[in-house]
Structures are given as C-alpha cells and as structure tokens.
Copies of this chain bind each other. A is one copy, B any other.
Amino acid sequence: MPETTPRFDLIELLFFAYRDFTDDPDVLLNELGYGRAHHRVLHFVHRNPGIRVSDLLGILKITKQSLGRVLKQLVDEGYIEQQHGPLDRRERLLFTTDKGRLLAQQLSQLQTKRINKTIELMPPGSDEIVRQFLYLMIDENDRNDVVRLISQSTTKE
C-alpha cells in the first residue's frame, strides 16, 4: 500500500516526450560524427558566449576530463574558439565560431519546430503553464541559476 498514488501518466509521457525531443538533433549530430555530449557543450557556449570552462562544468555537472574530450574535438574542428580572459589570463573563455553558431542554430531550430507545432495545437496561455511546470520540476536550489541562465543569456540572433 503506497503512500501516494503513482503518476504513471506523467512519468511515462515525460520519458517518451524527452526521447523524441532529443532525437531530432541526434539525427543531425550523428551525420557529423557527434553525440549528445557535443550538443550540450555547443548549446551552452552558444547561449553564453565567453563562458569560463569551470562555469560550463558547473552547468553540465560533468568532470573536467569528460568535458575536455568533446570540447577538444569542437575546437579542433572549428566550432568553438578559446580566448584568454582579459582580466585573468588563466581563464580560457569559450565562444562559438560562425560555423559553430550555424550548427547550434540548426539544432535549436529542430527542437523549436517540435515545440511550436505542439504549442499551436494547444489553448492560448498553455506555454506559460508548461514553463511553470518545468521550472517547478527543477531542484529548488538550482532554480535561480536556471532563470539567470535563461533570461541573462546574450545570444545574438
């Protein structure tokens, strides 16, 4: 006798929705020999031009060694550039190149198309409800960071 009735509907909808949501970019990435790890790195660099390596590690919650592997590939193949920090030369600030920006845009466009097709079929104001739901599903401690990330990002389109 469980204390709470399980929400199998939402649990399973989240599983399948997220699977298909990430599948669109995966197809394109695989053609380039990249995986989801490259996508995440490229995405957050694109969204936070000049981000420090250690801050990127904090967002992705992976180790320096894991990041290093995919970041090196993206730099070697001209998707991401590194610059010394102007105030602290130990820092290697990360920027997308034109090539990287283009790929990041293509990838987010695939995901945006799926989102827009969905929202169009729903009553007005639904996107605000969905945003609120997803926001509240995030760990309380991390919510402020996420809001800052989303609103303060300086992506140029």
Residue in B closest to A155 when the chains form the complex, CB atoms: B8
A112 x B11 contact (CB < 8 A)? yes
- Among B14, B111, B137, point to the contact of A11 (Cβ < 8 A): B111
Evaluate contact between B8 and A139: CB separation under 8 angstroms: no
Of A49-57, A69-77, A89-97, A115-123, which binds chain B? A115-123
Task: Check if A105 is an interface residue, CB within 8 A of chain B.
Answer: yes
Interface residues of A in 135-157 (CB under 8 A from B): 135-139, 142, 146, 149-150, 153, 155, 157
Given the complex of chains A and B, what is the CA–CA distance between A133 and B123 in angstroms? Answer: 10
A136 to B146, CA, bound (A): 25
Q: Is B157 a contact of A115 with CB atoms below 8 Å?
A: no
Is A83 at the interface (CB under 8 A from chain B)? no
A111 to B23, CA, bound (A): 23
Indicate whether A129 reaches chain B with its CB closer than 8 angstroms.
yes
Binding site for B on A (CB under 8 A): 2-21, 23, 40, 47, 61, 105, 108-109, 111-119, 121-123, 126-127, 129-139, 142, 146, 149-150, 153, 155, 157
